[in-house]
Structure 1
Amino acid sequence: MSATTEFVSLNIAVLTVSDTRNFENDTSGQALVNALEETGHQLIDRKLVPDDIYQMRAVVSQWIANPEVQAVIVTGGTGFTDRDSTPEALTPLFDKEVKGFGELFRQVSYDEIGSSTIQSRAFAGLANKTVIFCLPGSTGACRTGWNKIIKEQLDSTHRPCNFVGLLMGNQHNPTEVVKPYCGPRG
């Protein structure tokens, strides 16, 4: 299967990690839902859990075990308070880390919040052909992460590279290996 020039709609799950928010005041999770739907993707599930390692792992484990979920976006729990434990909860689930995601997120955030960006432990990884992006809990951080990084990486038409080939690769033919499109470098 070659790289597609047509947009492929993905099934995306959104998890908000917070001890204080509920669905009525979860502006960060709602911003992500709005953004992914406006882009043409489908919200397959949305949950809100407290800052608890085992509740986070349980929800994300169910999603990565579900072949209908191609991407997960998590907001919250990436700071340095005693209750911020999203990296500790989810990195053990990864088959591979997407090391550049956190670095790039902090780089683009620097233009918006200056050196305060070092207090973000944003990160991403792949687990069972599902990409997982973990963002800070602020609505601004979610918009930045989506608009400046995630949106393009979940867009099958984005060049030179995107994750869609990895996420959709074996869905139609389990023996076919599909790699993400990384076109010629100029």
Structure 2
Amino acid sequence: MNINQFFVEGGIFMYPLLACSVVLVAAVLYHILVNLRMGGISSDLMRLWQEVRAGDKATRRTFLERIVRRRTVAERLLSLIVTHARVDESELRELVQARAKEEFVNLEAGLSTIETIVNIAPMFGILGTASGLVEVFGAYGSSTDQDKIAQGIAQALNTTITGLAIAAPGVIAASYFTRKLAKRAARMEALMSEVIAYRSCLEER
């Protein structure tokens, strides 16, 4: 059985399933692009901070020039710390945490769509199978042709197979991205706490 035949035999519910697969791929790619552009703490930025903390004045200027760009989440949060360096430490931590939550909402772009597709794709598959079985038993309910009934049931199951085939990689992608964001958040929190504690290193001497 080729793909076209499989799709046609699946019935009308194959069309929303096709749409689900397209949306899932688009959501995954969008999430990856957003995180490549905005997320993460580069090893170069970490190296610069370690040198700044060690008291390297030349590196301090480079570090400040780097975070002024505000291209990534880390740079924007660091810029916030520098801008409010004179604020009380507890207030500054609360300010950074609030901004970090806002930034991470943006980094979660596409995740809710992936989770939605994971939930509804199997439902479309089951609906397709149920409607197919209704047609099969309606047409062959009084028939003694077991081959036709078996073939009809097999065709009705096409949508269930398709729905599960779409949901499975969606579950994997959502789980992977969620874990990656959690690790990124923990790393970001550790860096911001350290910079806040040693923010005096960023001041002119």
- Same fold, TM-score > 0.5, yes or no: no
Q: Shorter chain as normaliser: what TM range?
A: under 0.3
TM-score, normalising length from structure 1? 0.19
* Bigger Cα Rg: 2
Higher helix share: 2
Q: Which has the higher contact order (CA 8 A, sep 6+)?
A: 2
TM-score by length of 2: 0.18
| Larger fraction in strand | 1
